[in-house]
Structure 1
Amino acid sequence: MLLEALGAAVLGLALSGLAVRALARRLPAAWTVLVSGVAGALFGAYLTHFALGPGHHTLTATLVGAVLVSAVVLSLLLRPAAGAGRAARRAPFSLPSGG
């Protein structure tokens, strides 16, 4: 269990570090991204370990689950790209005017 947690934390740190280097402009502060990546990986390892049940604990499956959940958490931190040429927003539930 300790090896799974340590491996998940290292993989989460590596994944979030890669995200900071590649997508620095679209992410919040680097510290936030690094902490979120590690926390997501640890939660993913716990969730995968729990979902597999007793007798089916494999290190590979747990680490894959950790990386997947960490990637999902990091994707939630992404902001839209600058200058994405979006159309003007209307108020919610408004009808287009004919004029």
Structure 2
Amino acid sequence: MLWEAVVFAALGLLAAWSASRMFPLRLPASPLVLTTGPVASLVGGLVTYSIVGVHHPEATFPAALLTSAALLSVLSRPPRRGRHAKALG
């Protein structure tokens, strides 16, 4: 179980890192993104692990990654553009 938790956290960190590189204008400060990814992945993976059981990594790892991506998408915001962009930032 311990190695699966490490893999869940690594998947979440990978998802957060790639999201912060792909969408730097849409996501807030990097420390928030880099902590939300692994924590969300751990929670999603552990909940799925407790529901489906021990010997189902084909269900737990994608669920951990999807939970991480879903919570990272909650952090996103529209990019600033238009005539009010300079006044806001």
Which TM-score band applies after superposition, normalised by the shorter structure? 0.7 to 0.9
Q: Please list every run of at least 4 consecutive aligned residues from structure 1 whose deviation after the TM superposition is greater than 3 angstroms.
A: none
**Once structures 1 and 2 are overlaid, which stretch shifts more, 75-84 or 15-24?**
75-84
Indicate the RMSD between aligned Cα atoms, in angstroms.
1.7
Q: Measure the CA separation in 2 of the matches of 1:12 and 1:61.
A: 15
> Contact 1:45/1:66 (CA < 8 Å) preserved in 2?
yes
> Contact 1:12/1:70 (CA < 8 Å) preserved in 2?
yes
Q: Which amino acid aligns with 1:62?
A: T
Structure 1 gaps of 5+ residues are 86-99
TM-score by length of 2: 0.85
- Superposed, which structure 2 residues align to 1:1-99 within 5 Å? 1-53=1-53, 57-83=55-81
Distance 1:84 1:63, change over 3 A: farther
Q: How many residues of Structure 1 are paired with residues of Structure 2 in the alignment?
A: 83
Q: Which structure would you say has the larger Rg?
A: 1
Q: Measure the CA separation in 1 of the matches of 2:48 and 2:62.
A: 9
TM-score by length of 1: 0.77
